[in-house]
Amino acid sequence: MPDTTTEWTERILQAGNTGNAEKLMPILLAYALWCESEFGNHARETLEAWQAYGEAADEHYDWPAAIAAWRKLVDVPTGDNVDPKIGWIVAQALRGLGARKLSESPADALAYFRRDLELREKLNAEPFPDLTTSLDAVATALSQLGNDAEVRELRKRQLALTEAALGPDHPVVATLRQRLNIKDS
């Protein structure tokens, strides 16, 4: 068992890219557990290790492993003085959990998506694509719950941010206008 971050990095690199999940996933899991014991649950190194494991699991459709990794991340405190890197890790985990929950429980997904949006706003995320993707996720969950008025307001905000980033003639802007039944201006 490696006992330094450098040794772990070498082992991960030897396993190859994320295309080799069979070889890589067990090493990423072992590394995340080692970081937990070495640095503590909320240390940046530990959070980055769980993020890497969760992303690899998600990429290879191992939802239980991805969800387990993301759950390790979402309880990390994200108060006013949160380290931006940690904030982004938590926001990504919230978005991932929301996406996995959406079909079985839109209300649970909505809670994750709202926290993701709030955190990205606090971190001054780029309006496009970060905030627009989060707005879309919240609107999608609300739509499944039948809250059409709030969906419309979120979609209007999403349209304004997207149009400012991409211009009024972009196909994505046209799609968002169509969702809102707004004619080209």
- Least confident span in 6-15, 40-49, 73-82: 6-15
Question: Residue 162, Cβ neighbours under 10 Å: how many?
Answer: 24
Alpha-carbon dihedral sign for residues 112, 114, 118, 124: positive
Q: CB of 96 within 8 A of CB of 134?
A: no
Using the predicted structure, report yes or no on whether residue 22 has a pLDDT greater than 90: no
Quick one: which of 58, 82, 78 has its CA closest to 70? 58
Structure tokens belonging to residue 62: 């191992």
CB 28 within 8 A of CB 56: yes
Of 150, 153, 159, 157, nearest in space to 178 by CA? 159
DSSP state of 83: -
* pLDDT more than 70, % of the chain: 94
Q: What is the mean pLDDT of the chain?
A: 90
Secondary structure (3-state) at 61: coil
Q: Is the pLDDT of residue 89 over 70?
A: yes
Fold classified for 77-185? 1.25.40
C-alpha span between 158 and 129 (Å, rounded): 10
Q: Are 117 and 138 in contact (CB under 8 A)?
A: yes
Q: Which two tokens stand for residue 178?
A: 């169509």
* Prediction pTM value: 0.86
Calculate mean pLDDT across residues 104-128: 94
Domain boundaries along the sequence of the chain: 1-75, 77-185
The residues near 42 (Cβ < 8 Å, ≥ 6 apart) are 76, 77
Average pLDDT over residues 63-87: 93
The mean pLDDT of 111-128, rounded to a whole number, is: 93
pLDDT band (50, 70, 90) for residue 17 = low
Burial class (CB in 10 A: 0-12, 13-18, 19+), 118: middle
- How sure is the predictor about 119, in pLDDT bands with cuts at 50, 70 and 90? very high
With 70 as the cut, is the pLDDT of residue 184 above it?
Answer: no
